[in-house]
Amino acid sequence: MIEARDLGRVFGATRALDDISFRMEKGRVLCLLGHNGAGKSTLVSILATVLPPTNGTARIAGFDVVRQARDVRRHIGLTGQFAAVDESLTGRANLLLVARLLGAGKKEAAARAEQLLDMFALTEAADRTARTYSGGMRRRLDLASSFVGRPQVLFLDEPTTGLDPVSRNALWDLVRTMVGAGTTVLLTTQYLEEAEQLADRVMVLARGRCVADGSVAQLKEQLGGSTVRATLADPGATAAALTALRTAGLDPSPGEPAGTVTAAVEGSIGLAAAVRAFDSAGVGITGISLSEPTLDDVYLALAEQRTGVPVPS
């Protein structure tokens, strides 16, 4: 559905995008993850025919983004970080306008607008001007507008930046609904949790280059295992707890706060081994948990690999 080959873009002396290649199957979610200036919007703009590439080629649904831009536009929807809604129009009028622009008749446009207002939880606010909408409502209206033409491919450029957690969760659910309907989604984000929530595949961009590409699970694997953390019933039993875990072949250390111990493990098997070790050593625990590395850790590890210095978060 999306195919990019050696795609690059230069702005003066800045290489915003440096020879990116990838293929994306239908109905999948690709997440472009990167900090400000990584090249995410540049890549989305090229794929959405808004910006010509300096080098390389890209196809959407088989159409070339430069030579067949009009065909590409019939298949895509685009939502930016800054909502493209008309503030002076009501929510319903915004959707009607887009539907009419896309060539729908009056009745058809009205039906589609109604359907989308319902789907995006805007029915109650349908007759208020968009100026009165909250940030989350505006973003939903923008998303609804990009969905009017039932696009096969949807580009979402930082769709939840600046949204509160509730609005963000609502938007994630909408994206899942769209994907469930067969839409292919390319989403950019600076939020690692967002990639974890939505992506089938993540490409990490840094300075216009792809520095990692894979599933969230694969990226996490690059960091090694998980961490088990146990809270001891008796904080004075720390030494005994450490000995018990060492006997089980783990390499534990005392944790913070006092009375907890941690150890790197290989997933849930390691968790079970730790529980057995405490049990057979007679060390009582009041809690034990397994935490997997987050995508944030992955990004930092990759950035450190590249530059050799820790990146401030």
Ligand X SMILES: Nc1ncnc2c1ncn2[C@@H]1O[C@H](COP(=O)(O)OP(=O)(O)O)[C@@H](O)[C@H]1O
- 58 vs 241, which CB is nearer to Mg ion? 58
In the complex, residue closest to Mg ion by CB? 41
Span of 8-16, 102-110, 160-168, 218-226 interacting with ligand X by CB under 6 A = 8-16
Interacting partner of 169 out of Mg ion, ligand X, none (Cβ under 5 to 8 A depending on kind): none
Q: Shortest Cβ distance from residue 17 to Mg ion (Å)?
A: 12
Span of 30-38, 141-149, 210-218, 291-299 interacting with ligand X by CB under 6 A = 30-38
The count of residues interacting with ligand X (CB under 6 A) is: 11
- 42 vs 262, which CB is nearer to ligand X? 42
Of the candidate residues 8, 34, 91, 151, the single one contacting ligand X (CB under 6 A): 34
- 39 vs 149, which CB is nearer to ligand X? 39
- 34 vs 259, which CB is nearer to Mg ion? 34
- 41 vs 160, which CB is nearer to ligand X? 41
Q: Shortest Cβ distance from residue 88 to ligand X (Å)?
A: 28
- 39 vs 252, which CB is nearer to ligand X? 39
Please tell me whether residue 160 binds ligand X under the rule CB under 6 A: no
3-state secondary structure the chain: CEEEEEEEEEECCEEEEEEEEEEECCCCEEEEECCCCCCHHHHHHHHCCCCCCCEEEEEECCEECCCCHHHHHHHEEEECCCCCCCCCCEHHHHHHHHHHHCCCCHHHHHHHHHHHHHHCCCCCCCCCEHHHCCHHHHHHHHHHHHHCCCCCEEEEECCCCCCCHHHHHHHHHHHHHHHHCCCEEEEEECCHHHHHHHCCEEEEEECCEEEEEECHHHHHHCCCCEEEEEEECCHHHHHHHHHHHHHCCCCCEECCCCCEEEEEECHHHHHHHHHHHHHHHCCCEEEEEEECCCHHHHHHHHHHHHHCCCCCC
Span of 10-18, 84-92, 119-127, 211-219 interacting with ligand X by CB under 6 A = 10-18
Span of 11-19, 68-76, 92-100, 113-121 interacting with ligand X by CB under 6 A = 11-19
**Subset of 101-130 contacting ligand X (CB under 6 A):** none
Q: Which residues bind Mg ion (CB under 5 A)?
A: 40-41
Where b means 16+ CB within 10 Å and e means fewer, 196-231 reads bbbbebbbbbbbbbbbbbeebeebbeebebbbbbbe
Main-chain phi, psi angles of 112, to 5 degrees = -65, -40
Q: Shortest Cβ distance from residue 313 to Mg ion (Å)?
A: 19
Interacting partner of 14 out of Mg ion, ligand X, none (Cβ under 5 to 8 A depending on kind): ligand X
Interacting partner of 259 out of ligand X, Mg ion, none (Cβ under 5 to 8 A depending on kind): none
Residue 65: CA atoms inside 13 Å, Cβ hemisphere, count? Answer: 26
- 41 vs 260, which CB is nearer to Mg ion? 41
**Subset of 36-95 contacting ligand X (CB under 6 A):** 36-42
Cβ-proximal residues to 307 (8 Å cutoff; 6+ apart), any chain: none
What are the residues binding ligand X (CB under 6 A)? 11, 14, 16, 34, 36-42
